[in-house]
Structure 1
């Protein structure tokens, strides 16, 4: 697996996990075992490829260990944490479940507070400490990194595991918040503990589209909607917009600020690459003679 194929393979992995999570013939343990086996194989392939194809530039290396590897490894941490959550979930009335979920949320928040300095670094897209945090072999003595497991010296940095855990815990936090919401406003198919494509329960009977383009394009779209104030008279928050995009397209964008930092660093392509592409495609479409074919626009004349 070459480095430029990591993201493609990652999308394929998530597609396979979605199939497993939707298989009602499998129990919780069987779903977990099949999912974690696929994730481990993917992570093994990525490690092998990275070590066989050394990074040519320091910035490329930092980018991988700061953004890509944490996103991939977070999937393993998340599935382990979600399995633990669901296997320990008590049976009983909604009040008992609510208490259980709130306690789990408190645990997650304590972890974020315990690592507040690095969590803020992660959320804000800072770069000042990148060489110390995301270059293998960099020396860094910090009591705040005491719970990081023993590192693979050839394939780990001081910060990539911590960032992985931040991503995974944000995903778990989102899952729990959706479960709590389902308890307050029951909807058929919601709150059943099934691992959906985004790590959240699916709403029965609702048709979703799957985003098959580059994930970073959704980040451009989300910020564009937010900054142009297109929703709710401009009152929709950035978090609300990305939660809506995640749920609508089956995504796991848990920290758009990190992806925004990636967009800001673009040099080879425009920083508004996706918007430029949309504009060019739309102008080309308008210039076509059959651009306003009603059957094409409305799907054979129907919107439903």
Structure 2
């Protein structure tokens, strides 16, 4: 219950942050607006924990390993992007490129400083979850860096480190987009497939159902991709406007007739029919 409520709050937060990105306001004003929204969301998250208890240790682990880090990562990302953009030199393209390359090295340095935890994050390890993502535990100090403002009732040994990993992935993507053309970025990522242009011609609400299914089952980036990011990717690659995630969710949850997940049910029926026809 706590996790689902927190995920809904995260979707609302992402919509608030997206609105600030769409506003034509100064960078400092935009940052303040974003940080205020994030602080309120984190305060709501704390209030949620004060009002409810985790149903099990596993739910507590899931919350501090996958959910809370997403909120903190939004805060870190907003601050980091502002700092990077504010420090960008007004100079030649080569100087600016060198600046972005140096910033990229900084993100990788954090991985080097926390190699064990980064591998644990990438492999989605579980062996140490009870030490890293349960409150009032003490894992070996060599694994976890010191964190300022540690709140024992709202923090675990590993949630901030995971939030920083999520942030660094987004920073790397941001910097790579500015350093290289789309073709160069794909080559660097080891992706050299032929581009195929596909356009979504079905109802946008159907794609929203799929996006929520992908997000809620954690199929992208080890479950670390947000619903806004997933929908944004689908919009770009399928050349369609899905709309704001939370409003789409309200449309889906507000359905009263037939099925709330009508399109997913249609897909399931079509796949089962194909299997039945092949086995007949």
Structure 1: 5+ residue stretches without partners = 186-206, 224-242, 251-272, 287-304
Matching residue of 1:18: 18
Q: Which residue of the partner structure matches residue 267 of structure 2?
A: 279
Residues 83-135 of structure 1, C-alpha deviations (whole Å, 9 max, x = no match): 11111111112101100000001111111111010001011111000000000
Higher relative contact order, structure no. (Cα contacts within 8 Å, ≥ 6 residues apart):
2
The structure-2 alpha-carbon separation of the partners of 1:106 and 1:216, relative to structure 1 and needing over 3 Å to count, comes to: farther
What is the aligned partner in structure 1 of residue 168 from structure 2?
169
Distance 2:74 2:266 in 1: 31
Q: Secondary structure at the match of 1:37?
A: helix
Q: Quick check: which one's helix share is greater?
A: 2
1:138 touches 1:158 (CA, 8 Å); kept in 2?
A: yes
Query: For residues 42 and 245 of structure 1, do their structure 2 counterparts lie closer, same or farther at Cα, with a shift above 3 Å needed?
Result: closer
Please tell me whether the aligned partners of residues 3 and 49 of structure 1 are also in contact (alpha carbons under 8 angstroms): no
Alpha-carbon shift at residue 148 of structure 1 (Å): 2.4
Point out 4+ residue stretches in structure 1 off by more than 6 angstroms. Answer: 219-223, 283-286
CA deviation map 1:244-295 (0-9, x unaligned):
9753448xxxxxxxxxxxxxxxxxxxxxx9x974632546999xxxxxxxxx
Secondary structure at 1:95's aligned position in 2?
Answer: helix
In the TM superposition, 1:1-150 aligns within 5 A as 3-24=3-24, 26-150=25-149
Report the 3-state secondary structure (helix = DSSP H, G, I; strand = E; otherwise coil) of the residue aligned with 1:140.
coil
Q: Deviations over 1:175-217 (max 9, x none)?
A: 00001125998xxxxxxxxxxxxxxxxxxxxx9x797445451
* Greater shift in the superposed pair: 113-122 or 14-23: 14-23
Task: State the Cα distance separating 1:150 from its structure 2 match.
Answer: 4.0
> Judging changes above 3 Å, is the alpha-carbon distance between structure 1 residues 121 and 177 closer, same or farther for their aligned structure 2 residues?
same
After superposition, the C-alpha distances for 1:8-55 in whole angstroms (9 at most, x for unaligned) are: 22112211211111112x011011111110011001101111122110
1:202-281 correspondence to structure 2 within 5 Å? 212-213=208-209, 215=212, 217=214, 247-249=233-235, 277=265, 279-280=267-268
- Report the RMSD for the aligned CA atoms in angstroms: 3.4
Taking structure 1 as the reference length, what is the TM-score of the superposition?
0.64
Whether contact under 8 Å (1:6, 1:46) holds in the other structure is yes
Partner SS state of residue 42, structure 2: helix
CA distance in 1: counterparts of 2:55 and 2:120, whole angstroms: 26
CA distance in 1, matches of 2:182, 2:124: 35
Q: Alpha carbons of 1:129 and 1:244: their partners in 2 closer, same or farther (altered >3 Å)?
A: closer
Are residues 42 and 244 of structure 1, via their aligned partners in 2, closer, same or farther at CA, if it must alter by over 3 Å? closer
